[in-house]
Structure 1
Amino acid sequence: MSLTETRYCFLVDWFDNHAQLTRQYEFFFYPLDSTIEMYDSKQRRTFLKRTKYTVRLQDLFIGAAINVHSRQLIIRDYGDEYSRSQLVNQMESTLLLIKPDGYANIGKIIDMALQNQFSICRSRMLKIPPYLAQELLGNDTDIATAADSFTGGLSVAIELLKPNAVQDMIQLSGPPIVADAKNSDPKCIRARFGSLGHKNAVHVPTNSTEAKQQLDLIFGSGAHNFPRTATFKNSTLAIIRPHAIVQGKTGNIISMIQDAGFNITDMELYHLDRSNAEDFLEVYKGVVPEYHLMLNQLTSGPIIAMEITGDETITTTFREFVGPVDPELAKQVRPNSLRAKFGIDKVCNAVHCTDLPEDGTLESQFFFQIMQS
C-alpha cells in the first residue's frame, strides 16, 4: 500500500456523560496529511467527516486517550489487520525506571529520552519495595547489591514508546556499572547521572519479554498496591499542560523545578475526561473568562500532575516561580519563570499551579487521593 493510500484504523470508546453509556466508533488516521475520520458502525453512518486535526501517529496506541472536539476517545484496539500488522511491528514499549539515586535528575533523564524520539505513555512516582526490586532484577548475578539501589527513596516509572524501544533505551542508558558506562559511553544516562557501581540512576529491561512483564508489574492490575508517595503536608500542585507535553517540554519543565530546589513528592501522567476536568476547574467557572478554553486544553491530551512540597509558604513561593498567567507579562516581570520560558498564551501557559495557600493540599488530594479511588 503506497503512502497516498495509507489509512490506519482503530476502535475507540467515548463515554457519553449525558446518556451514561459508552459509545464505540471506528477512528481512521491518514498519515499523509494528518487527517482523521470517524465512523459509527452501530448506526452505519459517518460520525466525523475526514478533516485535518492535530494528532500524531505516535499518539495512537492501545490504551491511549486522545481528545477530538472536546470528546475524550480511548483507543481500545486496532480496527483492521493491516493497522495491527503495521503498527504492532512499528511501535514498541519499554520501561524506564528512574531510581532513587537518579531522583535529582528526573527532568534531565526524561529530556534525554524525549530528545531520542521516545514518547511517554504512562508515568508514576513510587517507592520500590524490596520484593519488586528482586522481580525487576530477575537473574542478575549480583542481585543483593543491585537491589539496594532500588529502595530507600523515590523512583519514577515511565512507559516509553517508539520503534525498537527496548534496544534503543538499553543503548541510551549504557552499561549497568557506572564505571563501565563512563569508560565506554560518557554521554549515556548512567555515565552522566549514575554515582557508583549499581547506583546507576536508571533500570531498563534487557529484552521485549522483560519489558512487557515489568510494565505489567508496575502499571498492571497490581499497581494499586503501591502506596501513593504524596505527603499532603505543606504541599501545592503543579500540572504540565498537554500542549507542553506534546511540544516535548516535560523534561525541561521538571528540570527547572528541581534545579530551583523544589521537592517533587508525587507525580503521575493522567488523561482527564471532561467530567474530572470540570470538577478540578470548578473554582474558575464563571470567574475566569478563559474557563472553557482552559477546560478544552486540560482534556486535549495527557497531563502530568506533581505534588510540590516545602515549607508553609510553598504555594506562594512556587506560584511566583511559575509566573503570571499571561506568558507575555511573565516575560516582562518574571523572565526566568516557567510560563515565561514555556508558555504561549493565557490558556496554553505550560503549567497550572495552585493559586491560594489553603488550596494547595486540596488540589494535591484531588489527583493523588480522590482520582485514585
Structure 2
Amino acid sequence: MEGAYRDKYAFVGEWYDNQASLVRRYNLFYYPCDDTIEMYDLKNRKTFLKRVKVTGVTLENFYIGSTLNILGRLVKITSFACEDTKAKLLKDMEVTFVLIKPIEANIAGKIITHLYQNGLRITKMKKSRLTADDVNYLFRYDVHDPTFPFLFEQLTDALVYGLELVGNNAVSNCAKLIGDRDPLKAEPNTIRALYGKDPVRNCVHCAPDPEAAVKDIEYFFPPPPFHSVRLNLTATLSNCTLCIVKPHALREGKLGDIMEQIDEAGFNITALNMFMVENINANEFYEVYKGIVQEFKGMVDELSSGPCVAMEIVAKNKGLHTAVEFRKLVGPIDPEIARLLRPNTLRAKHGKTRVQNAVHCSDLAEDGLLEVEYFFKILDL
C-alpha cells in the first residue's frame, strides 16, 4: 500500500449536492509531480473526475477541514484516505487560531503580512464584535490572570479579526512570532514587541495548544445554523462599497498590504469575511459584465478559483461618497494602465493582468450597497 501512494496523496472529501440534497463522498488523489487532482466516487465505485490541473490548488491546500474549489464544487477534506498520506502530512501541517484585538486596520495589515512572511497562511478570517460570552470562552485559560478583568473590559463589545492559520507546527511557530504577553519582555521583531503597548493591549491572542486551536476555530467560525446567533458579521450597509481581494492576491500574500493601503487612504474596513465563491455564484455576481467585457469568463474563473476576502468599505470622512472615492483608490481595470496613469492605486501596486488585477470594487456608485448585501447577507447564508 505504501508504494502505491508514493507518487500521490490520498484524502476523503465531501461535497454537498444542493440539487439532490445529499452529501457525496469521494477519494481525492493529489499528484505533486504535476499538481493534478483525481476524484473517485465512493458510493458509485467509479472515477468521478479524471486527472486534471485545478488552478490555485497545491499540496498546502490539503489539510483536515480545508475546503477546495474543484471545478465549481466546494469539496471539504474530512480525513486521510491512507496511512502513508497521514504519516507524511500530519506530523508537520497544523492549524491554529489567532485573534487580532481592537487595532487600526493598517497595523492589522502589518500583522497579517508578518504571519504570511513566516509561513503561516490564512484559511479562514472574519471581522466580528465580541460579546461577554465570547470573551469568556476565547480567553477561558486566562480567567485567573490578574489582567483578565481589564482584558474583559477592553474586548467586550469590541471589533476584532479572527483567523484560522495553517502551517508547519503552526501553534508553536505562531506563539514564537507573537512573543511574550508583555510587549516590554517580548523578543525584538515579534508582533507584540513591534505593535503592542502593555499586557492587555498587546495586539494579538493565539491558541495555547492544538486542542484549544481546534475548539476556538469551531467557536469563531460556526457552521451555518449558528451564523445568525454567534459572532456574526459587522456590515453597516450605510454609505458603503464592496472590495474583494481576489484569490490570486491572497495566495501571493498581498492582503495585509492592501488593508494597510485602504486604511491609510482614508477608509474604514467595517466588515470582512473570507469566502469560497462557487462558480455559479461568481457567474451571478459578475452577470452585469456578461457580453460587455471580453474577460468575463476569466473573471468568473478567477473569483471561484480559491478563497477571496470581501470587505465592506466606508469613508472615514462622512461627507464623502464612499463608492465614488474608493473607486479612485482602486484604479483602472488594467494594472499596466494603472501603473502608467495612477501608480499609487491598489491595482497598480498589486495587480498583474486585467483578470488578476488584485481587487474588485463596485464600479457604479449605486451598486456599492447592493454588492455588499450580496456578500454579507446572501452568500453568508
In structure 2, the residue matched to 1:34 is 35
In structure 2, the residue matched to 1:173 is 178
CA shift in 2, pair 1:32/1:354, >3 Å = same
Aligned match of 2:269 in 264, 273, 279? 264
SS in 2 for 1:100: coil
Q: In the alignment, is the contact (CA less than 8 A) between 2:126 and 2:162 conserved in 1?
A: yes
In structure 2, the residue matched to 1:239 is 244
Which TM-score applies when normalising by structure 1?
0.91
1:20 Cα offset (Å): 6.8
1:16 Cα offset (Å): 5.7
Aligned match of 2:283 in 278, 282, 306? 278
Give unmatched runs, 5+ long, in structure 2: none
Q: Deviations over 1:15-41 (max 9, x none)?
A: 567777654432111234433322334
Q: Deviations over 1:136-172 (max 9, x none)?
A: 2224212112223323532100000112111111111
Q: In the alignment, is the contact (CA less than 8 A) between 1:103 and 1:154 conserved in 2?
A: no
In the alignment, the residues of structure 2 paired with residue 297 and residue 156 of structure 1 have an alpha-carbon distance, to the nearest angstrom, of 25
Aligned residues: 370
Which TM-score applies when normalising by structure 2?
0.90
In the alignment, the residues of structure 2 paired with residue 272 and residue 302 of structure 1 have an alpha-carbon distance, to the nearest angstrom, of 7
In the alignment, the residues of structure 2 paired with residue 18 and residue 226 of structure 1 have an alpha-carbon distance, to the nearest angstrom, of 29
In the alignment, the residues of structure 1 paired with residue 53 and residue 279 of structure 2 have an alpha-carbon distance, to the nearest angstrom, of 23
1:179 Cα offset (Å): 1.9
SS in 2 for 1:179: coil
Aligned match of 1:200 in 186, 197, 202? 202
Q: In the alignment, is the contact (CA less than 8 A) between 1:101 and 1:194 conserved in 2?
A: no
In structure 2, the residue matched to 1:65 is 67
CA shift in 2, pair 1:217/1:18, >3 Å = closer
In structure 1, the residue matched to 2:10 is 9
In the alignment, the residues of structure 1 paired with residue 376 and residue 52 of structure 2 have an alpha-carbon distance, to the nearest angstrom, of 37
CA shift in 2, pair 1:232/1:352, >3 Å = same
Deviating more after overlay: 245-254 vs 5-14: 5-14
In structure 2, the residue matched to 1:218 is 220
Q: Deviations over 1:183-226 (max 9, x none)?
A: xx121111111123310011111112221222222113445322
In the alignment, the residues of structure 2 paired with residue 359 and residue 113 of structure 1 have an alpha-carbon distance, to the nearest angstrom, of 34
Asked if 1:161 corresponds to 2:162, the answer is no
Q: In the alignment, is the contact (CA less than 8 A) between 2:72 and 2:280 conserved in 1?
A: no
Give the letter aligned to residue 191 of structure 1: A
In the alignment, the residues of structure 2 paired with residue 252 and residue 232 of structure 1 have an alpha-carbon distance, to the nearest angstrom, of 25
Q: In the alignment, is the contact (CA less than 8 A) between 1:114 and 1:248 conserved in 2?
A: yes
Give unmatched runs, 5+ long, in structure 1: none
Identity value in percent: 39
1:10 Cα offset (Å): 1.6
SS in 1 for 2:155: coil
1:271 Cα offset (Å): 0.3
1:340 Cα offset (Å): 0.8
1:45 Cα offset (Å): 3.5
Higher helix share: 1
Aligned match of 2:327 in 319, 331, 334? 319
